[in-house]
Amino acid sequence: MVASCEVEVANSSGLHCRPAVVFVNKAASFKSKIVIENLTKKTPQANAKSPISVLSIAVDTGNKIRITATGEDAEAAVAGLKETIENDFIQM
């Protein structure tokens, strides 16, 4: 199964340091392969379970990203990561 969504990052520091750790930890909780890409900066896909990969796509405030998951829990993974972004990276 494949699931995907696009979301704008509103966090004041974008997807850097603390927010990236929260995002990566959430991604790691799913079995699916998950990639993220910065649509605003047209970056290549990055492994959403790797802090270095996530930081490498330099997501700033207001950037639009695409999250794509492939695997048995793909829909839950995309929904969970989108919710994490929309909740300003507050761990739940």
Residues pairing with 42 in the sheet: none
Full strand arrangement of the beta sheet holding 2-8? 2-8, 64-70, 33-38, 46-47
43-59 b/e with 16+ CB inside 10 Å = b? beebbbbeeebbbebeb
Catalytic annotation present for 84: no
Active-site option among 16, 33, 64, 66:
16
Residues marked as catalytic = 16
